[in-house]
Structure 1
Amino acid sequence: MNILYDAAMPYAEAFFSEFGNAKAFEVGGLTPNTLIDIDALFVRSTTKVDAELLKQANRLQFVATATAGFNHLDTAYLDSQNIKWYAAGGCNAVAVAEYVLSAIFQLALEDGFDPIEKKVAIIGAGNVGSALSKILEAFSIDFILCDPPLEAKGDERTFGHFDEAMQADIICLHTPLVKDGEFPSYHMFSKNEFESLKQTQYLINACRGEVVDNSALLASFIQGKKLNVVLDVWENEPLINHQLIPYTRLATAHIAGHTLEGKARGTSMVYDAFCRHLNKQIVSKLEQFLPDFKNKLLVNSSSPSFNQLFHIVTSIYDIKKDDGIFRSRMAKSEAFAEIRKHYPVRRESSAVTLKFSAKEDSENYNKNVAKIAASIGFKIAN
């Protein structure tokens, strides 16, 4: 069996070599000719899989993307050719949720508010929205879910209307990009929505750039509207509108989901799906390959709870650092794609062990902080 996989998929060789001849390809390295006699193709979002690419694919039976989104797959064409396809939905959900948490705590530090006193709207309650809701529950942060498509399908969770979500202190967008049908998300936030937002509210987009009308957002800023906006995703990536960057509170290069765990989970999920396709027993597990996080994170138990939680949250992911790198590099060149391509290794909370400076029986030890940290995935050493 012949397999081609994206070289950017962590541990791909270890996972896929058991199926036969598995070879890596670099982004941009695929041509129709390279698909001759290939049985399976595993990609990431940087590879568009369509009729043009596959016109010489004489043996292809399975295509998978190691990413949650699959807009880069022409699924209608794949279906018409009876080629099975799979997307690793939810692989980076925890990573994106932790990105949003870091954004909230950074904004809280800068603007002097307590996140626990804010209400969060999660628009889009799929894999990422659900992961974020669990984290907010751990912090006892009030939130509302808004997802008309899931609600219409009979999801038993409690949902609020869009108008209600628009009144929340912090609005987080986690919808797929949908341009047609009953519930389109394309330009969900445009001129009218920006006009209705108060300057005390926050908008965080970590789903798809086109969910927010970037031109209308820039126009609102230029017209003097005061908005607190965090953007990880942008329209027309990688050639985004540079004029928008200075107006944002926090800005990054579509890296919210770029943890080692998130990427490797995508590889693992593709492996599992291919095993199911072949009716083959799943042998390899992600835990076999992930490296240990070498150092314990020391938390000063005598500091206020917010300080402890801020330290914990930003030590696993510091959005302010990425924001600074993004602004510096984007000011000099079209570096968006390069920032993504060479993004440094980032881990998720589940990889880290916390050690509190005070023992559990000490009056300085805050059991609630440790409980919150444990509930969002951290290991506790004492």
Structure 2
Amino acid sequence: MMKPYVFITRKLKEELIAPLKEIAHVEMWENEEVPCPRELLLKKSSEADALLTMLSDQVDEELLEVQKNLKVVSNLAVGYDNIDIEGATRHHIAVCNTPDVLTETTADLTFALLMATARRIVEAAEFVKEGKWTGWSPFLLAGSDIHHKTIGIVGMGNIGQAVAKRAKGFSMNVLYHNRTRKVEAEKEIGAHFCSFYELLEKSDFVVCLTPLTKETKHLFNKDAFERMKGSAIFINAARGAVVDEEALYDALMTKKIKAAGLDVFKEEPINEQHPLLTLKNVVALPHIGSASMETREKMMTLCVENIIQILSNKEPITLVNKEWMEQ
């Protein structure tokens, strides 16, 4: 009996995929940094029983139409906006993701980005390296305090709650906006639920951690930035398309808000000529929210385990499209 065929769209460590090789024939795109070419992905998808994908791989109607035996797409991310979930369900394909294992690591990075932006850490480090530091002065690269300020978190899922806990360590007042109230988080953390507009108007730091959906695309637009304080700092560690980048650039240029820390962008990798990258009050990172060695290996392991479960006719660990179970 032939083993099922699994295609992995980025090079992973052999020891992490060893359990998968015990039950399946496994192939990988042999490059750690460059994405798998679209044409190759389509070809492999037409042959595969399972795909292990990155968030940069589009699992859309074109791919779903060429596949013949695909049973599962295991996505190396919490978010799955790169996958047509309804289409996958219609084609009887399970979609899995990697929640929970990256919560604390992503919260670490989010708060680090907030701190780096507020205290102008990147700008200060470059200032020293460029030989511009000629002496001490009272307001040299003075930034904004973090302690005892108000943080507004848009998207109070696991990562949002983990960020809120870190904020409490800085004696911050925590506001949040979410589709549903998180009563337990309110009790445990002391967070205060409010409307989106109220959060924008009251927060010193506005942190975006909401998933990308039809409703949240360009949630942060011209109107949103105009409602924020002139001293406010905006942090995005969710998805780039949640933000209207042109509106953000205008808000920063016209000093409607003070600064922005961005780990994600509409187009990734971002073009080095992008207007946002010309601004000193922008800290830009290459989508490294969950990028610790320990967490990335946990994510990869979970992806492999989900594929093994599906190919063994067992229930997956972290299924996205619950409707698949009912088919």
Taking structure 2 as the reference length, the TM-score comes to 0.74
Residue 77 (structure 1) shift: 1.7
Residue 225 (structure 1) shift: 3.6
Structure 1 residues not aligned, in runs of 5+:
283-382
Residue 131 (structure 1) shift: 2.2
Query: What is residue 36 of structure 2 aligned with on the other side?
Result: 28
Query: What is residue 207 of structure 2 aligned with on the other side?
Result: 172
Query: What is residue 3 of structure 1 aligned with on the other side?
Result: 6
Question: 2:275 aligned with 1:243, yes or no?
Answer: yes
Aligned AA (1:165): L
Aligned with residue 203 of structure 1, among 217, 234, 241: 234
CA separation of 1:108 and 1:243: change in aligned 2, threshold 3 A = closer
Query: What is residue 18 of structure 2 aligned with on the other side?
Result: 14
Aligned with residue 258 of structure 1, among 273, 284, 291: 291
**Any conservation in 1 of the 2:117–2:260 contact (CA below 8 Å)?**
no
Residue 24 (structure 1) shift: 1.0
Structure 2 residues not aligned, in runs of 5+:
121-141, 187-192, 317-327
Deviations 1:331-377 (A, max 9, x none): xxxxxxxxxxxxxxxxxxxxxxxxxxxxxxxxxxxxxxxxxxxxxxx
Deviations 1:202-252 (A, max 9, x none): 111111112121111222344454521112222233354611222233112
**Any conservation in 1 of the 2:205–2:233 contact (CA below 8 Å)?**
yes
Residue 124 (structure 1) shift: 0.4
CA distance in 1, matches of 2:218, 2:46: 40
Query: What is residue 224 of structure 2 aligned with on the other side?
Result: 193
Deviant stretches of 4+, over 6 Å:
none
Deviations 1:74-125 (A, max 9, x none): 2222111111111223443323211122123334544455433222111101
Residue 176 (structure 1) shift: 0.7
**What is the aligned residue count?**
275
CA distance in 2, matches of 1:53, 1:109: 45
Give % identity: 25
**Any conservation in 1 of the 2:107–2:162 contact (CA below 8 Å)?**
yes
Aligned AA (2:209): H
CA separation of 1:250 and 1:19: change in aligned 2, threshold 3 A = same
Deviations 1:149-206 (A, max 9, x none): 233xx76543222233221111110001122xxxx21212221222232232211111
Aligned AA (1:42): L
CA separation of 1:276 and 1:150: change in aligned 2, threshold 3 A = farther
CA separation of 1:281 and 1:254: change in aligned 2, threshold 3 A = closer
Alignment of 1:328-347 (within 5 A): none
CA separation of 1:174 and 1:17: change in aligned 2, threshold 3 A = same
Deviations 1:13-43 (A, max 9, x none): 2342232212212532434332344221111
CA separation of 1:256 and 1:157: change in aligned 2, threshold 3 A = closer
CA distance in 1, matches of 2:118, 2:47: 55
Taking structure 1 as the reference length, the TM-score comes to 0.64
Larger RCO, structure (CA 8 Å, separation 6 or more)? 2
